[in-house]
Chains A and B, each alone.
Chain A
Amino acid sequence: MYEFDWSSIPGALPFLWDGMKISLEITLTAVVIGIVWGTLLAMMRLSSLKPLALFAAGYVNLFRAVPLVMVLLWFFLIVPKFIEQLFGLPPGTDLRLTSAMIGFALFESAYYSEIIRAGIQSVPKGQMAACSALGMTYGQAMRLVILPQAFRNMVPLLLTQAIILFQDTSLVYVSALADFFGAAYKVGDRDGRLVELLLFAGAVYFVICFAASTVVKRLQKKFHPA
Chain B
Amino acid sequence: MIKISNVSKNYGAFDVLKDCSTTVQKGEVVVVCGPSGSGKSTLIKCVNGLEPFQSGEIIVDGTSVGDPKTNLSKLRSRVGMVFQHFELFPHMSITENLAIAQIKVLGRKQDEAMDKGLKLLDRVGLKAHAHKFPGQLSGGQQQRVAIARALAMDPICMLFDEPTSALDPEMINEVLDVMTELAQEGMTMMCVTHEMGFAKRVANRVIFMDHGRIVEDDSKEAFFANPRSERAQQFLAKILHH
A149 to B85, CA, bound (A): 17
A152 to B92, CA, bound (A): 12
Q: How large is the interface on A (under 10, 10 to 19, 20 to 34, 35 or more residues)?
A: 10 to 19
Q: How large is the interface on B (under 10, 10 to 19, 20 to 34, 35 or more residues)?
A: 20 to 34
A-B contacts, 7 listed (Cβ < 8 Å): A124-B87, A126-B83, A133-B76, A133-B80, A136-B105, A140-B104, A149-B91
A124 to B91, CA, bound (A): 13
Would you call A127 and B101 a contact (CB within 8 A)?
no
Query: B209: CB under 8 A from chain A?
Result: no
Contacts of A149 in B (CB 8 A): 89-91
Contacts of B83 in A (CB 8 A): 126, 129-130, 133
In the complex, the chain A residue whose C-beta lies closest to that of B79 is: A133
In the complex, the chain A residue whose C-beta lies closest to that of B78 is: A135
* CB of A124 to closest CB in B, whole Å: 7
Contacts of B100 in A (CB 8 A): 144
A144 to B75, CA, bound (A): 20
User: Please, what's the 1-or-0 string for A120-138, where 1 marks a CB less than 8 Å from any CB in chain B?
Assistant: 0000101101101111110
* CB of B64 to closest CB in A, whole Å: 17
Nearest 3 Cβ contacts at the A-B interface: A135-B77, A130-B87, A134-B101
User: Please, what's the 1-or-0 string for B45-75, where 1 marks a CB less than 8 Å from any CB in chain A?
Assistant: 1001010000000000000000000001111
A140 to B106, CA, bound (A): 13
Would you call A134 and B153 a contact (CB within 8 A)?
yes
* CB of B50 to closest CB in A, whole Å: 6
Query: A33: CB under 8 A from chain B?
Result: no
Would you call A126 and B87 a contact (CB within 8 A)?
yes
Contacts of B104 in A (CB 8 A): 136, 140, 144
A126 to B143, CA, bound (A): 14
* CB of A86 to closest CB in B, whole Å: 39
Give the most central of A130, A140, A152: most B CB within 10 Å.
A130
Would you call B105 and A152 a contact (CB within 8 A)?
no
Would you call A137 and B91 a contact (CB within 8 A)?
no
* CB of A70 to closest CB in B, whole Å: 40
Query: A209: CB under 8 A from chain B?
Result: no
A132 to B87, CA, bound (A): 12
Query: A202: CB under 8 A from chain B?
Result: no
A135 to B50, CA, bound (A): 11
Query: A145: CB under 8 A from chain B?
Result: yes
Contacts of B76 in A (CB 8 A): 132-135
* CB of A220 to closest CB in B, whole Å: 17
A148 to B91, CA, bound (A): 8
* CB of A93 to closest CB in B, whole Å: 46
A209 to B80, CA, bound (A): 50
Contacts of A140 in B (CB 8 A): 104-105
Contacts of A148 in B (CB 8 A): 91
Would you call B85 and A126 a contact (CB within 8 A)?
yes
Query: B29: CB under 8 A from chain A?
Result: no
In the complex, the chain A residue whose C-beta lies closest to that of B90 is: A149
Would you call B87 and A129 a contact (CB within 8 A)?
yes
Query: B149: CB under 8 A from chain A?
Result: yes
Contacts of A135 in B (CB 8 A): 73-78, 101, 105-106, 153
